[in-house]
Structure 1
Amino acid sequence: MDRRKFLQLGGAGLGIGMLPLSGHVVAENQLTFSGIDTAVKKELADTALNTATKMGATYADVRIGRYLNQYVVTREMKVQNVVNTESIGMGVRVIAKGTWGFAATNDMTVDGIARATAKAVATAKANAKYQGEPVQLAAQKGYGEVSWRTPLQKNAMEIPLAEKVDLLMTVNEAALEAGANFINSMLYLVNEQKYFASTDGSYIDQDVHRLWAPFTVTAVDKETGGFRTRDGLGQPVGRGFEYLDGRAEDKVKSQTVLYRDSYDMVEDARLAAEQAREKLSAKSVQPGKYDLVLDPSHLWLTIHESVGHPLELDRVLGYEANFAGTSFATIDKWRSGKFKYGSDKVNLFADKIQPGSLGAVGYDDEGVKTRNWDLVKEGVLVNYQAIRDQVHMLGQKESHGCCYADSWSSVQFQRMPNVSLLPGTDELSVKEMIKDVEKGIYIIGDGSFSIDQQRYNFQFGGQLFYEIENGEITGMLEDVAYQSNTQEFWNSCSQICDKRDYRLGGSFFDGKGQPSQVSAVSHGSATARFDNVNVINTKRKLG
């Protein structure tokens, strides 16, 4: 429908869509738009913890969750869809006879929670018959009653739908005026209201907000029928709606991504239309060896696939082999203390605390206060990502705080935290980096990728490619992808821009586990240079 008709009907539709789900009574009807009262959640949690203890559990934790999502989807000057979802329930995890048990329910009454807890304990006791070694859970102090909230100025869920539609229509109009033939744009908003309690003595209330504003612009050559696309370069973030208040006059109007603390979606749409049209006449790349200058909007995905996944301890130990593969970064390499994951310039760290990141929370989903830690230090592999029942395998005593479940109905397990590349210590701008490159390609934005089951051999594309000759950008290229292996690639890193260029990229949909779960994770970096990397032409053979 068009914008005018949509806005006439949208208010009533949104009001209905955001009502709590029908079905079980939630805490004696004490659910409000802002969630369940904390005192009620504590009462329900104590029901689970006391039931588990009485039935013989040596440890128990409970997660009460309310998950809200909103999607606003448009194409050209029309609204395609608005979807609001809500899910409420409780998951309880126990250790009984040295074995894990888990159960979940959306019957949010004292009796319903007691029944689910009894099921979790019974499951653990049944599993104990088949488990060789008991669970070794790292010690964790209780924090009492604490809370954490995503720092934000504007709760995106409370912004009027009309304002969101107006933003997307302005974005689409800007792209069409700048030469786009088609544009799809959307808003994806998430609010996780999560309450955690455990027999360690923690009662943790968290309110987590995330948003993403993606779009795709298409330009068509009407004479040849050829077309090119360019996706938006704004990144998903753990921020409020103020992230979309960006204004181009406060940013660099060039190939630099128009985001950091805020994102000018309208200006990016204009640039996308111009660049998609420029792609139609861009020359196809000549295969060969190039020095690559990789923007953070591109490099985040390479970090995710070649560092984040291979350093998940459960993958390293083979627990993910049946579904997602294993890892080349085996325990023996870490134990040697000498494995060169990258050059001396490369310092990679994990965290769940970076402001504005998708992974930022105060506590993980087993009540561990979040922090950061080194994975690769001056090129050497020094650690992995591990949770409470894994760290003893590394001879460590404290969880890294990277346990997560995507729903109250899913069991929490080790998930990738934010994994990022430290910026360089010497002052270096992108322009100065490019001046030192004789034959290279500057890559902006993420594209298609392929990586093997051990996260070693890979190929990555992108959104925008610019040829560099003798320190100057000479024009746009097309059909570019680079190939390498993880160790060779990170050892080719010769320069990293300083902290002024540091930015976050990321994904809402990092998949893992059976049954599969998704999590949201960010990866930060400054622009970095990688020398003598193999580039292929993805379209055709060249003479």
Structure 2
Amino acid sequence: MKRRDFIYLSGAAGAGAMVLPGFMAMGKPIEQEEALNYVDVRIKKELADVALNTAKSKGATYADMRIGRYLSQAVITRENRVQNVGNSESYGVGIRVIANGCWGFAAGNAVTKDGVAKIAERAVAVAKANAKIGGKPVQLAPQKGYGEVSWKTPIEKNAFEVPIKEKIDLLLTANGEAMKGGASFVNSMIFAINEQKYFASTDGSYIDQDIHRIYPNFSVTKRDVEIGGFESRAALSMPCGMGYEYLTPVESEKVHGVVTRYKKRYDIIEDIKNATKNAGEKLMSKSVEPGKYDLVLDPSHLWLTIHESVAHPTELDRVLGYEANYAGTSFLSVDKLKSGNFHFGSKNMNIVADRDQAGSLGAVGYDDEGVKPTNFQIVKDGVLSNFQTIRDQAHIIGLDHSQGCCYAQSWDDVQFQRMPNVSLAPGKTPLSVDDMIKGVEKGIYIVGNGSFSIDQQRYNFQFGGQLFYEIKNGKIVGMLNDVAYQATNQEFWNSLVAVCDERDYRLGGAFNDGKGQPSQSNAVSHGSSTARFNGVNVINTKRKIG
């Protein structure tokens, strides 16, 4: 769609001013066709050699450089109109060095031989200035060079090749279905990201990567004029590391005859119809009675609980207190890890980390310091067994290698420790969701993520959701509302009594997980099968007036 066509359809003159929440790596507006122009890898290697040789000549004992081209696209609609469309590009170079035992970093958007040489000189100067402050020298885990290699997200259809009009038509059709179903308000959107990243280091790596992510989303709201209330339901889609093929609807299923769930692909039309119906049902649903319940948590909900209560607390920099101001530290410690007997949860709790899971947001061939990621276990049979590390952290917990957990949101941000995909492993005994529900006497089945709260050490927390279904004597008997559960971290994970098998395994995730100062945004997935937690405290969140 040309700009003049968009202005005609939407009546908005500010089409270039895209609003894409959660992404810091915004750059200049570009036309969609420009997003498909790639930089020749031979040019990148020439620039890399200039940067690395300059850094070494100025006194660096180690150097790496990243040439990054970050593309973002958003198509945003509301009811029967387009609110915003935009494409943006951010392009530049970041260079990190060690000189006199200290880190130095510099970045710039002059992507020329002279430009990268000056950036490299500045990075070395920063490192030498840092060295005057003192402190222990940087200790890097060894890393072999890979030579010239490349990796690309295995996509079927590049989202940036799909015409804007096709995306608008899909979203407006979805909105129309919601309005036909009685929705009072509806908005929908498609976000697409393409990271074209080139990494080179004095270890001998020249790594070219082409990473794709996509996120369709919507929110439907229904009002009841008579009672003066309203209820909403967001999409049950999940952001993922796929191309536009994610929006090719296949593999949906009904669970217990109630909730439609989506496996590897997503049907936005079907979901928005169901969401509109659900919003009406929520208006008529009864408010939950506070008390102890057995919770059956769908992966569309459980991913966020895993993210906040397991993934963040096991980041080593957070454990050490280096990361504190942005969302706190951790209740865990290196001593708890080294003891070998800290029971994080029940024997059913097996937490694994990876950055190569197909379709995941965190999937890459190499991290942002040239490490090929490994799969590793964080919790085994309920016992804490590892933390997330990068090259200059590995020695702190006795590792001789990085686990490939380094990432920077853009070329002008220094890379640092970010979580990989952190997931709850499925159960080994055959168990379906229907069978799990049959075993529950008094419980609640929770679908979708909602509001949450967690303390500064990631220990006490509260989580809500999108949909809540009451379970009595092994059957779903109706919808509930105003539900949230509260627990301490260990209390909650030790109440884990069952996990469905791998047939139910699905990914959820965050497109914009924040960390650090200055803050950076990271995309990460968390997988699980549906899981049951017994005897969890449930509260009523309904606000009382007066």
**TM-score bucket of the superposed structures, by smaller chain:** over 0.9
In structure 1, what is the equivalent of residue 279 of structure 2? Answer: 276
- Distance, in Å, in 2 between the alignment partners of 1:36 and 1:201 is 21
Report the CA distance between 1:256 and its aligned residue.
3.8
Residues 47, 114 of structure 1: 8 Å contact kept = yes
Post-superposition Cα deviations, 1:442-498, rounded to whole Å, max 9, x if no partner, equal 000000000001000000000000000100101000000000011110000001000
Residues 234, 257 of structure 1: 8 Å contact kept = no
In structure 1, what is the equivalent of residue 48 of structure 2? Answer: 45
- Distance, in Å, in 1 between the alignment partners of 2:15 and 2:68 is 22
Report the CA distance between 1:505 and its aligned residue.
0.3
Report the CA distance between 1:238 and its aligned residue.
0.3
Residues 303, 420 of structure 1: 8 Å contact kept = yes
What letter corresponds to residue 144 of structure 2 in structure 1? K
In structure 1, what is the equivalent of residue 84 of structure 2? Answer: 81
CA 1:22–1:296 in 2, change beyond 3 Å: closer, same or farther?
A: closer
CA 1:246–1:7 in 2, change beyond 3 Å: closer, same or farther?
A: farther
In structure 1, what is the equivalent of residue 516 of structure 2? Answer: 513
- Aligned counterpart for 2:236 among listed residues 208, 233, 237: 233
Residues 68, 191 of structure 1: 8 Å contact kept = yes
Q: What SS is found at the alignment partner of 1:416?
A: coil
Residue 487 in 1 paired to residue 490 in 2? yes
In structure 1, what is the equivalent of residue 101 of structure 2? Answer: 98
What letter corresponds to residue 228 of structure 2 in structure 1? G
In structure 2, what is the equivalent of residue 399 of structure 1? Answer: 402
In structure 1, what is the equivalent of residue 158 of structure 2? Answer: 155
In structure 2, what is the equivalent of residue 195 of structure 1? Answer: 198
Report the CA distance between 1:9 and its aligned residue.
6.5
CA 1:372–1:478 in 2, change beyond 3 Å: closer, same or farther?
A: same
What letter corresponds to residue 254 of structure 2 in structure 1? V
- Aligned counterpart for 1:467 among listed residues 465, 470, 473: 470
In structure 1, what is the equivalent of residue 526 of structure 2? Answer: 523
Post-superposition Cα deviations, 1:275-333, rounded to whole Å, max 9, x if no partner, equal 00000010000000000000000000000000000000000001012333111111111
- Aligned counterpart for 2:254 among listed residues 248, 252, 255: 252
In structure 1, what is the equivalent of residue 424 of structure 2? Answer: 421
Residues 29, 87 of structure 2: 8 Å contact kept = no
Q: What SS is found at the alignment partner of 1:370?
A: coil
- Distance, in Å, in 1 between the alignment partners of 2:492 and 2:261 is 27
Residue 348 in 1 paired to residue 348 in 2? no
- Distance, in Å, in 2 between the alignment partners of 1:154 and 1:98 is 45
Report the CA distance between 1:129 and its aligned residue.
1.3
What letter corresponds to residue 57 of structure 2 in structure 1? K
- Distance, in Å, in 1 between the alignment partners of 2:149 and 2:318 is 32
Residues 16, 29 of structure 2: 8 Å contact kept = no
- Distance, in Å, in 2 between the alignment partners of 1:321 and 1:164 is 41
Residue 108 in 1 paired to residue 108 in 2? no
Residues 7, 162 of structure 1: 8 Å contact kept = no
CA 1:5–1:388 in 2, change beyond 3 Å: closer, same or farther?
A: closer
- Aligned counterpart for 1:267 among listed residues 265, 270, 274: 270
Q: What SS is found at the alignment partner of 2:358?
A: coil
In structure 2, what is the equivalent of residue 336 of structure 1? Answer: 339
Q: What SS is found at the alignment partner of 1:461?
A: strand
Report the CA distance between 1:21 and its aligned residue.
5.0
Q: What SS is found at the alignment partner of 2:301?
A: helix
Residues 500, 530 of structure 2: 8 Å contact kept = yes
Q: What SS is found at the alignment partner of 1:463?
A: strand
Q: What SS is found at the alignment partner of 1:252?
A: strand
Residues 258, 264 of structure 1: 8 Å contact kept = no
- Distance, in Å, in 1 between the alignment partners of 2:328 and 2:35 is 43
What letter corresponds to residue 201 of structure 1 in structure 2? G
- Distance, in Å, in 1 between the alignment partners of 2:14 and 2:47 is 30
Residues 368, 401 of structure 1: 8 Å contact kept = yes
Report the CA distance between 1:6 and its aligned residue.
3.7
* TM-score, normalised relative to structure 1: 0.94
In structure 1, what is the equivalent of residue 172 of structure 2? Answer: 169
Post-superposition Cα deviations, 1:386-428, rounded to whole Å, max 9, x if no partner, equal 0000000011101000100000000000001110000000110
CA 1:431–1:22 in 2, change beyond 3 Å: closer, same or farther?
A: closer
- Distance, in Å, in 1 between the alignment partners of 2:14 and 2:263 is 31
Residues 211, 240 of structure 1: 8 Å contact kept = yes
Report the CA distance between 1:15 and its aligned residue.
12
Please, what is the CA RMSD of the aligned residues?
2.2
- Distance, in Å, in 1 between the alignment partners of 2:14 and 2:120 is 36
Q: Give structure 1 stretches of 5+ with no counterpart.
A: 24-30
Which segments of structure 1 move beyond 4 Å, counting only runs of 4 or more? 7-10, 13-18, 20-23
Q: How does 1:121-160 map to 2 (within 5 A)?
A: 121-160=124-163
What letter corresponds to residue 252 of structure 1 in structure 2? K
Report the CA distance between 1:135 and its aligned residue.
0.2
Q: How does 1:305-454 map to 2 (within 5 A)?
A: 305-454=308-457
Q: How many residues are aligned here?
A: 529
- Distance, in Å, in 1 between the alignment partners of 2:375 and 2:58 is 37
Q: What SS is found at the alignment partner of 1:466?
A: strand
Residues 7, 15 of structure 2: 8 Å contact kept = no
Report the CA distance between 1:34 and its aligned residue.
2.6
Report the CA distance between 1:180 and its aligned residue.
1.4
Report the CA distance between 1:251 and its aligned residue.
3.5
- Distance, in Å, in 2 between the alignment partners of 1:131 and 1:452 is 34
Report the CA distance between 1:247 and its aligned residue.
4.5
In structure 2, what is the equivalent of residue 26 of structure 1? Answer: none
CA 1:495–1:165 in 2, change beyond 3 Å: closer, same or farther?
A: same
CA 1:9–1:476 in 2, change beyond 3 Å: closer, same or farther?
A: closer
Q: What SS is found at the alignment partner of 2:116?
A: helix
Post-superposition Cα deviations, 1:148-186, rounded to whole Å, max 9, x if no partner, equal 000010000110011101110111111112221111100
- Aligned counterpart for 2:63 among listed residues 60, 64, 67: 60
Residue 208 in 1 paired to residue 214 in 2? no
Report the CA distance between 1:372 and its aligned residue.
1.0
Residue 533 in 1 paired to residue 536 in 2? yes
CA 1:164–1:541 in 2, change beyond 3 Å: closer, same or farther?
A: closer
What letter corresponds to residue 76 of structure 2 in structure 1? V
What letter corresponds to residue 521 of structure 2 in structure 1? V
Q: Give structure 2 stretches of 5+ with no counterpart.
A: 19-26
In structure 1, what is the equivalent of residue 500 of structure 2? Answer: 497
Residues 447, 467 of structure 2: 8 Å contact kept = yes
- Distance, in Å, in 2 between the alignment partners of 1:541 and 1:529 is 31
What letter corresponds to residue 273 of structure 1 in structure 2? T
Q: What SS is found at the alignment partner of 2:458?
A: coil
- Distance, in Å, in 2 between the alignment partners of 1:461 and 1:53 is 53
Residues 17, 84 of structure 1: 8 Å contact kept = no
- Distance, in Å, in 1 between the alignment partners of 2:14 and 2:193 is 16
CA 1:257–1:509 in 2, change beyond 3 Å: closer, same or farther?
A: farther
Post-superposition Cα deviations, 1:208-254, rounded to whole Å, max 9, x if no partner, equal 00010110000111212210000000000000000001147x54385
Residues 418, 523 of structure 1: 8 Å contact kept = yes
Report the CA distance between 1:260 and its aligned residue.
1.7
